[in-house]
């Protein structure tokens, strides 16, 4: 885990010169916030290639899951687990 954090911080420092950036897909896609600098197509593609290399090199497995919120709420009501925490 420490290697993953170190690698993330190195990646962030290369692009922003600090480690305080939170990487959000939405901001990357819309080129907003810290990712506005990647609104140039060539620069954006270079960043995305490097980011993909960073992510695929992480020592983690990724799983995707979907929850139909209306069905979940009908079944568990307000006492159900927070979906954000449930998906972690």
pLDDT digits 0-9 by tens, 28-77: 989 999 999 998 999 999 999 999 998 888 887 777 778 888 998 899 98
Q: Could you tell me the residue range of the domain that residue 9 belongs to? A: 2-56
| pLDDT tier for residue 88 given thresholds of 50, 70 and 90 | low
Structural domain count, the chain: 1
DSSP reduced 3-state for 66: coil
Model confidence at 80: pLDDT above 80: yes
What is the spatial distance between Cα 45 and Cα 39, in angstroms, rounded to a whole number? 10
Give Cβ neighbours of residue 39 (< 8 Å, ≥ 6 apart).
31
Cα angle value 30/33/39 (rounded, 5°):
50
Q: Does residue 6 form part of some domain? A: yes
Rg (CA), the chain: 17
What is the spatial distance between Cα 48 and Cα 35, in angstroms, rounded to a whole number? 11
């Amino acid at each position: 885990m420490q290697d993953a954090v170190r690698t993330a911080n190195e990646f962030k420092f290369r692009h922003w010169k600090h480690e305080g950036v939170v990487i959000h897909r939405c901001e990357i896609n819309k080129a907003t916030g810290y990712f506005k600098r990647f609104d140039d197509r060539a620069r954006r593609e270079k960043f995305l290639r490097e980011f993909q290399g960073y992510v695929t090199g992480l020592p983690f497995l990724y799983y995707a899951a979907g929850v139909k919120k209306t069905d979940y709420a009908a079944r568990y009501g307000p006492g159900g687990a927070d979906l954000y925490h449930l998906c972690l």
